[in-house]
Structure 1
Amino acid sequence: MPDPNPAALDFLLTRRSRPYKTLGQPVPNRAALEPILTAALRTPDHGKLEPWRLIVLEAPALRRLADIVSARGTALGKSDDDIAKARLAYEISPLAVAVIEVQKPSDKIPAVEMTYAAGAACLALLNAALAAGWGANWLSGWPSHDRGFCAEALDLADNETVAGLIHIGTESATPPDRPRPDLATVTTWVSA
């Protein structure tokens, strides 16, 4: 017989990301962040490869990255609006955790499964932060897909990419919930 956890199921049924623009101080200190990070790493991992790592970015580091966003955007020929929008996420964020996908050599585990595992770590981190009472949001954006930015800002190796940036802080406003997918529209039941 199953052993249900109604509180956990209720959390998952009602969870929602918080807009990064509404996240401010205070942020979790190291002692408060460590269980959140630990929970993030309890994600499915076929082959036990641990195809991820975490980079905790505090406010001063995020401001430094904002300057790199501007320089990279100019070098890439991005519009002023694209640069400003991307820069803002780094400029105003009080804390973010970069989840880094690490592709590891494996004859058994396909590369795509490592990508899925890193994405699962992002969602687990996001949900752990929300469950701990913080506001949180999973973002990426063009800088996180630019090899130049990743190398300069985060010192990523060639086998590493940004799976996501999880912004964490205290929520200052709660916007209305967004529409959710219609279960009947996106679900197919197969019985034979």
Structure 2
Amino acid sequence: MTATLTLLKTRKSPKVFDLTDPGPSPAEIDEMLAIASRVPDHGKLTPWRFIVFEGAAREQAGEVIAGVFAAQNPDADTDRLALERGRLTRAPLVIAVVSTAGPHAKIPEWEQTLSAAAAATLLVVSAHAHGYAATWLTEWYAYDADARAALGLAANERFIGFIHIGTLARPQEDRPRPALNDIVTRY
């Protein structure tokens, strides 16, 4: 079996709370993002972009998320606001994948959105290839218009997900995978 096949067969998504330091170096982050950019992209539109949250930027973005949550939930207690503040601090690095899909004469928005999802997938696989673990999360703030705007997205942009990247704090059990007979139809 080739190293690539082994890599693909062993990738899994750990619990976000099992990610710890160290995270990727700046050079590794750049390489991961370059790899994530090598996805199918009909029309060469580049219908996605990345937002990197590392170091103190994770806490700053957490304050933004907590602020939006507090405005929408004025009765939220301090524990809940602390949870919201810590959303992007659970791993040393978080990279948001943003879909910039929009109307086009030839390329449907759906194809553009799928290209962004493919970029998120390659980012997760690239993190694994670099020796890190990655978890792709889309929590409430990924779907909330106020949170999206507060985190810098334009009205037409959407979060595909937040990729949390770090070193595994402990070994992970693999989850059961579907039997091919249950998910494959041969026409």
Is TM more than 0.5 here? yes
Greater Cα shift, 174-183 or 114-123: 174-183
Letter in 2 for 1:27: G
List structure 1 runs of 4+ shifted beyond 6 angstroms: none
Q: Normalised by the size of structure 2, how large is the TM-score? A: 0.90
Greater helix content: 1
Please report the RMSD computed on the Cα atoms of aligned residues, expressed in angstroms: 2.0
Q: Structure 1 residue 9 and structure 2 residue 12: aligned?
A: no
1:90 maps to which of 61, 82, 88: 88
- For the residue of structure 2 that corresponds to 1:21, the secondary structure is helix
State how far apart, in whole Å, the 2-side matches of 1:82 and 1:145 are: 19
Q: Structure 1 residue 65 and structure 2 residue 61: aligned?
A: yes
Instruction: Give the aligned partner of residue 42 of structure 1.
Output: 38
Aligned sequence identity (%): 38
Contact 1:69 1:83 survives alignment (8 Å): no
State how far apart, in whole Å, the 1-side matches of 2:182 and 2:81 are: 37
Q: Deviations over 1:29-82 (max 9, x none)?
A: 211211111110111111111100111111311111212222212222396687
- For the residue of structure 1 that corresponds to 2:97, the secondary structure is strand
Instruction: Give the aligned partner of residue 178 of structure 2.
Output: 181
- For the residue of structure 2 that corresponds to 1:46, the secondary structure is coil
Letter in 2 for 1:134: Y
State how far apart, in whole Å, the 1-side matches of 2:137 and 2:85 are: 12
State how far apart, in whole Å, the 2-side matches of 1:93 and 1:122 are: 17
Instruction: Give the aligned partner of residue 171 of structure 1.
Output: 168
State the shift of 1:100 in Å.
Answer: 0.8
Within 5 Å, which residues of 2 pair with 1:1-192?
Answer: 6-77=2-73, 86-153=84-151, 155-190=152-187
Structure 1 alignment gaps of length 5 or more: none
Contact 2:7 2:128 survives alignment (8 Å): no
State the shift of 1:132 in Å.
Answer: 0.8
Structure 2 alignment gaps of length 5 or more: none
State how far apart, in whole Å, the 1-side matches of 2:88 and 2:51 are: 14
Q: Normalised by the size of structure 1, how large is the TM-score? A: 0.88
